Amino acid sequence: MDALKKVIVSKGSSLNGGIIKVDSFLNHRLDSGLIFQMGEAFAARFLQEQPDIILTVEASGIALALATAHALGDIPVVYAKKSHASNQNSDMAKETIYSFTHQQECVIRVDLHYIPKGSKVLIIDDFLANGEAVRGLMGIIKQANAKLVGIGIAIEKGFQQGGKMLRAQGLPLLSLAVIDELKDGHIRFRDTEGEI
Ligand code: G4P
């Protein structure tokens, strides 16, 4: 998606270890116009799958998920929680994921009442790196006896393994920007290049 790639080049910055900082439009301050455009792009790709629910992980996936849900006719969004609270239902699906970026394990939880058996679920998230978050969400969909109908990602880091792994399984994946290389401020998208 050209608009996203342009903003990555103009407002993103490259940190050590292949990390891209996108706080000014995606991870801290939100560019609402761009986020709604991304939601429309995901909706256009996955409309034919007729998803019933969008599933994401807190925090940065929520805005994108909501924009997509709106573009799909205001279907519900469910987000996996990363913290455990005493008022949480006991009927929670849990998955442990390992964050390469944060170098720690994290348990994500979803109340199974919010993913009815047999429902068609679209996963939306901001980043795809090693695919741990998506793997965890897929585990939750399985526990709910629901059906995964697609995966929409804003920024895929093509130099990590997540995208490869999901495509090898034949899963319907749409990444709006795929970064194949990020080195010394030079960014190579799967089809264009730029300096950040
Ligand atoms: P994975 O799920 O694909 O395996 O990725 P990883 O564990 O490495 O990602 C952990 C967190 O770091 C996720 O956010 C993910 O969105 C984010 N992330 C991964 N690579 C980058 C990057 O290059 N730049 C930025 N800005 N974020 C990255 P999170 O911990 O769930 O945080 P948040 O959703 O609360 O923002």
Q: Distance from the CA of 127 to the center of ligand 1, in angstroms?
A: 6
Q: Compute the average pLDDT of residues 50-62.
A: 97
Q: Distance from the CA of 178 to the center of ligand 1, in angstroms?
A: 15
Looking at the CA of residue 15, tell me the nearest atom of ligand 1.
23
* pLDDT score recorded for residue 64: 98
pTM of the model: 0.95
Give the start-end residues of each E strand in 58-191. 77-80, 92-99, 104-111, 120-128, 147-157, 173-183, 186-189
Q: 3.30.1360.30, 3.40.50.2020, 3.40.50.360, 3.40.50.300: which CATH number matches 39-180?
A: 3.40.50.2020
Residues with CB under 6 A from ligand 1: 19-22, 27, 57, 59-61, 99-102, 126-133, 157, 162
Domain chopping of the chain, boundaries:
39-180
Residue 49 scores a pLDDT above 90: yes
- DSSP-derived 3-state class of residue 156: strand
- DSSP-derived 3-state class of residue 18: coil
Q: Distance from the CA of 126 to the center of ligand 1, in angstroms?
A: 8
Q: Compute the average pLDDT of residues 147-161.
A: 97
Residue 160 scores a pLDDT above 90: yes
**pLDDT-based confidence at residue 149 (cuts at 50, 70, 90):** very high
Residue 89 scores a pLDDT above 80: no
Q: Name the average pLDDT for the chain.
A: 95
